[in-house]
Structures are given as C-alpha cells and as structure tokens.
C-alpha cells in the first residue's frame, strides 16, 4: 500500500503552494501576551527572545511569527476590546 499517488510520465507532480516572506514583513510576538519580542544573541548557547511588555516578563526561544498587517489588525481589534471592557460595555 502506498500513499504516493501514481503519476503518468507526461504529467507534472503538483507543487505545494509556498509563500515566501522577507524578515521585514514578519513580527515575532510573545506567545503569552502577543507583544513584540526583542532578540538577544548568544555566543555559546541558544539565542533568547524577551517580551517588550514590562508586565509580562516572558523570555524563551520559541515565538510566534506573524505578518505585520495581521499583527496591526490584531492589535487594533485588541485595543477596541480593551476599551470596551474599561467602559463597561
């Protein structure tokens, strides 16, 4: 039993869609509070990232990478929700 589909010789193998982004288009965010992270290089160890939110205090090696447009939209919606909570709506 094989999981690879059989392809005729004249038929091309379908290629998966790949979206390549530059580093400038992405933001690394904290998995705990969703604020941007700061990169701290290491000479003899694993590079660390720390959260820029002073209230969070998270540090680690694994972050979430999102596009800048998605992050800006998320933060805009988050600020609207926080304003609604403060106003008691």
Q: Which residues contact 73 (CB under 8 A, 6 or more apart)?
A: none
Whether 4 is covered by a domain: the verdict is no
Percentage of the chain surpassing pLDDT 70? 65
Tens-digit pLDDT profile for residues 46-77: 889 999 988 998 999 888 888 888 888 888 88
Whether 1 is covered by a domain: the verdict is no
Domain extent, residue 75, equals 23-87
Whether 18 is covered by a domain: the verdict is no
Whether 38 is covered by a domain: the verdict is yes
Whether 8 is covered by a domain: the verdict is no
Q: Please compute, for residue 44, the number of CA atoms within 13 A of its CA located in the half-sphere on the CB side.
A: 0
pTM: 0.60
Whether 72 is covered by a domain: the verdict is yes
């Amino acid at each position: 039993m094989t999981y690879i589909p059989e392809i005729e010789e004249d038929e091309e193998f379908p290629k998966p869609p790949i979206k390549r982004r530059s580093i400038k288009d992405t933001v690394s965010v904290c998995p705990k509070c969703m604020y941007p992270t700061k990169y701290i290089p290491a000479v003899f160890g694993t590079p660390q990232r720390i959260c820029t939110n002073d209230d969070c205090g998270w540090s680690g090696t694994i972050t979430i990478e999102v596009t800048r447009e998605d992050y800006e939209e998320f933060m805009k919606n988050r600020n609207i929700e926080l304003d609604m909570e403060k106003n008691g709506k």
